[in-house]
Structure 1
Amino acid sequence: MKKIIVFASGSGTNAENIIKYFSNIEIAKVVSIFTNNASAKVIDRAKNHQIPVEIFSKNELLERNVLQKIQKIDPDLIVLAGFLLKFPENIIEQYPNKIINIHPALLPKYGGKGMYGMHIHRAIVNNKEKETGISIHYVNENYDEGGIIFQANVALTDEDTPETVAEKIHELEQTHFPEIIHKILEDSNSKI
């Protein structure tokens, strides 16, 4: 069975969705949640599913501490699901094309440092975009610039607010993220 580690910084709805999805499929299992936020709701979600949690500081991420913990687990895939820190190069180098992220916009638009969550949704509404969506991509040394694996879009109207955009994005994330992870694990040598 393949092993997945999920990194998350906040509420953990995507992390929990991935946990639930793979609890019914024998191809893989979420074996650990890593978080940089000791008060993140993802911790409770993980504990509810008996998934071990690693809490670390930004310094521990940049040093070798987190890498060493990852190496002990020896994951087949590392999934960033609402993880807000820049992923360190020492981990990326050890796991090439084995680290993916979900971004709540259609990259390359609305990517980069500081572009996450409601910041993106507000910018999309302010710019009167006609569509938005999600991007699932490989992680490299730059924010949101790794190779795109999958995108899904949703139409917007003039009545959309940042909050309604967030709801539409959340729906796309919940539907597609676990399925794309599943496809990646089934065939780790090809892009979707």
Structure 2
Amino acid sequence: MPLKLAVLISGGGSTMINLQRNIQAGSLDASIPLVVASRPCTGVEKAESAGLTAVTLSPKSFASTDEYSQKLFSAVRDVEADLVILAGFLSKIIIPEDFANRVMNIHPSLLPAFCGKGMYGHRVHEAVITRGCKISGCTVHFCDNEYDHGPIILQQTVRVDATDNADSLAERVQSAECEAYPKAIQLYAENRLLVKEGRVHIVNES
């Protein structure tokens, strides 16, 4: 059976659409029975245009992060999702025990560099350029209940040119993300990711 993904978004939904395209192309053995947005955003419209079920669940409607997380994961369980995909999702959630190593995120840097609370999007790329890094990239990792933490699955590098600004570097990193995220999810679908002592081992890696 295809892997069931619950995709969480907060913005334009480009990562979600990239995953759906990979599914339609046959390179990702999965389906997306649920998209959850943390706020009204264009990603919801894109999801619905792609024929996906999308709901908006705002943390502002709940008394605490814990209550919000319980409601969100209840919706995820209702569709029997195998894996939760954070796709530009900017709201804090508490991952329950039954979803340990079942929530993935992609971060636009080579973790553990340039991460933590408030480090997302162009803020990351600006920090990379300011620091004078010669390479950057993206990291796919399993999530725990710390920001940008949890076992690393895949990393992909990109060059940083002397003439780069945040926009040009973001474009290059996003291209890497479009390759790395579906690849990591497919490895999960093939049961080839083994987490041992906080490290991810890829089974039968060539």
Indicate yes or no: 2:115 matched with 1:114: no
- TM-score w.r.t. structure 1 length? 0.93
1:71 maps to what in 2? 77
1:106/1:151 contact within 8 Å kept: yes
After TM superposition, the structure 1 = structure 2 runs for residues 10-159 of structure 1, keeping only pairs within 5 Å, are 10-25=11-26, 27-38=29-40, 40-58=41-59, 59-60=61-62, 62-63=66-67, 64-90=70-96, 93-159=97-163
1:172 maps to what in 2? 176
1:33-76 deviation per Cα after TM superposition (whole angstroms, max 9, x unaligned): 111111x1111110111100121111546312212111111111
Structure 2: 5+ residue stretches without partners: 195-200
1:125/1:161 contact within 8 Å kept: yes
Amino acid at match of 2:127: A
1:23/1:29 contact within 8 Å kept: no
* Deviation >6 Å, runs of 4+: none
1:130-169 deviation per Cα after TM superposition (whole angstroms, max 9, x unaligned): 1100000000010011100000001112111111110111
3-state SS of paired residue (2:141):
strand
2:102/2:142 contact within 8 Å kept: yes
Aligned CA-pair RMSD: 1.5
Amino acid at match of 1:11: G
Distance in 2 between the 1:159 and 1:82 partners? 26
- TM-score w.r.t. structure 2 length? 0.87
3-state SS of paired residue (2:149):
coil
Amino acid at match of 1:77: L
1:105/1:120 contact within 8 Å kept: yes
Which one is further off, 60-69 or 41-50? 60-69
2:187/2:193 contact within 8 Å kept: no
2:87/2:105 contact within 8 Å kept: yes
2:140/2:180 contact within 8 Å kept: no
3-state SS of paired residue (1:97):
coil
